Structure 1
Amino acid sequence: VEFINRLFGALAGIATLFLALASTSFWRKDKKVTLISWLIVFGMGFQAWLGATVVYSVLEPVKITMHMIMALVIVALLVYLIYKTDSISQNRKYDKKVTLTIWIALGLTLIQIILGTQVRQFVDNQIDLFGENAKDIWLVNPSLQFYIHRSFSILVVLINLYLAYSISQKSLGYSKIKWVLGLLLIEVITGIVMYYFDFPFASQPLHLILAAFLFGIQFYLVLEATKGIIRQKTL
């Protein structure tokens, strides 16, 4: 699995290099696109170095968390490029309270992901102690981080439900909130499945991948809301 991860990391690095080269066509139109594209290339290099430190530290929890946060930073930068280069421009209403709630929801998701990396580290330690085939006892005596992570998910769901309600009531047009709610539903389901059904095959990586998608879409919502602020100031 670690070797496959390295291979995909190399492929992702090559893809971001091609992205940076292609972004030079935007230099005259929007220099930010080119600069951020090259920043992503350097970010991928830094991420590769972080990955090596994680391996050399024998999966030290702090370094695992740093590795995950850097991955989310790269996701955010890529989402920003998608947003900036999207040819479809839609006019959206601006609402200060909703915009603040979107930022809060994004922050809570980031905290939840960080807590999740700590729970993952605890599970890895349990695997070392009891073995790969003892899935039924990995979470018999869970860590405090597990309970915080599980309880915190309720807050994440509630804030996003409130956000969806506010967007609908005020007709703001942020349609991607539906994606957020759908991903949250699957995230909750995969979390329940892991706990009550002893970590079925691929449930852990699926839970992690969906969290990254969730963060990316919420960041896109932040960009839409920020554009609303800029438009309002311009008017």
Structure 2
Amino acid sequence: MQKRFRKLAKISLVLVYLVIIAGAVVRMTGSGMGCPDWPKCFGHYIPPTDVSELQWLPNTFFKKGQVIIVDETLQVAISDLTTSKNFTPENWEPYTKHDYAKFNVAHTWIEYINRLFGALAGLATLALAFYSFAFIKTKKTWVFLSWLVVFGMGFQAWLGATVVYSVLEPAKITVHMVMALVIVAMLLYIIHMTKTKEEETVNQKVAIFPLAVITLLLTLFQIVLGTQVRQLVDHQIDVVGELSKDLWLSTIDWRFYMHRTFSLVVLILNILLAQRIYKHQLDFRKINWIMGFIVLEIVTGMTMYYLEFPFATQPLHLVLASLLFGVQFYLVMEAFSSRKRYKSL
């Protein structure tokens, strides 16, 4: 039963990472407003595939809540209705969350797929929470954390709605990303707690916990700073256009230079951490993944800067950062539990 619970937690983690990947693709393609309402998409559970589905037509049936575009504004059907020969404003009310009223079929379906992954991840975490009741007498912490993940997913969904309502306000996008990492951390904690005795890390005499925590915090700082840099780039794209990639970094400020400098700090500290683990032959194999992700992060960052943002480098950079955070967080938990067991001897 414990193995099944742990397996379900791993499935939930994979689905959450798929949401992060889908979200990165949404940002890369500029599809964040592909569905201008929430949780539906233009008032549909399955979004339209052609702009004609969003246009007013005479003698046509519209369901309550269905959205159409009229004079570059979104109009919502007040009730089920069949249109007459002329548009009747009394049957419609303007969408008041924002004034964005554009349709791009590619953007719409990219954003819709992102939401589908979010729904799947939500269902998986909900299943995990209900399954946790099997341990309510012996492992109350598992039950508490499982339901905390569910509430976290609910809060994340609400954040997603506020991002849409704000027409992709930069600060809200950053909070949305950080919350995704919080959910990743909670699921990893559940996975770590449910390890069997055979999977436990051997007690270590050399402490790496403090340095591991520092590297984790620096990575989190780098991610937040990276989202700020990305927002600068997005703003510049709005100014100069998507085709003028050579100008995307023409107005960079201190945040970019700090982000670039701290990447070297993160690399050096993790090299020191890896050196300590390798030197004393400690049983923390996650360090290999950490070093690999850091190298790839630096390579994708340099590629974007020197080669003018090749295709897919932006979402890849973000996804690698989230994977790096997850592996570092797990290493921190292993280092802490190992130190705790050693002190109890």
Please report the TM-score for the alignment, with normalisation by the length of structure 1.
0.94
CA-CA distance at 1:94 after TM superposition: 4.2
2:228 corresponds to which of 100, 107, 118: 118
Task: Indicate the structure with greater helix content.
Answer: 1
1:95 corresponds to which of 199, 206, 213: 206
1:138 corresponds to which of 235, 245, 248: 248
| Structure 1 stretches lacking a partner, 5+ long | none
Cα pair distance change 1:125/1:32, threshold 3 Å:
same
CA-CA distance at 1:135 after TM superposition: 1.6
| Structure exhibiting the larger radius of gyration computed from Cα positions | 2
Q: Is 2:69 the counterpart of 1:69?
A: no
2:284 corresponds to which of 138, 152, 174: 174
The aligned amino acid for 2:326 is G
Give a deviation string over 1:39-79, Cα, whole Å, max 9, x none.
10110000111111122223222222211111111010011
Question: Matched residues in 2 for 1:202 and 1:60: separation?
Answer: 23
% identical equivalent positions: 56
RMSD over aligned Cα, in angstroms? 1.4
CA contact (8 A) 1:94 1:228 kept: no
Moved more, 13-22 or 145-154: 13-22
CA-CA distance at 1:95 after TM superposition: 3.0
CA contact (8 A) 1:19 1:37 kept: yes
CA contact (8 A) 1:94 1:225 kept: no
The number of residues matched between the two structures is 234
Question: Matched residues in 2 for 1:12 and 1:192: separation?
Answer: 33
1:191-230 map, 5 Å:
191-230=301-340
CA-CA distance at 1:198 after TM superposition: 1.6
1:154-193 map, 5 Å:
154-193=264-303
CA contact (8 A) 2:188 2:330 kept: yes
Question: Matched residues in 2 for 1:7 and 1:23: separation?
Answer: 24
Q: Which fold has the larger relative contact order, with Cα–Cα distance below 8 Å and residues 6 or more apart in sequence? A: 1
Please report the TM-score for the alignment, with normalisation by the length of structure 2.
0.65
Question: Matched residues in 2 for 1:146 and 1:231: separation?
Answer: 42
Question: Matched residues in 2 for 1:2 and 1:135: separation?
Answer: 24
CA-CA distance at 1:171 after TM superposition: 2.1
CA contact (8 A) 2:201 2:284 kept: no
1:3-22 map, 5 Å:
3-22=112-131
CA contact (8 A) 1:110 1:215 kept: yes
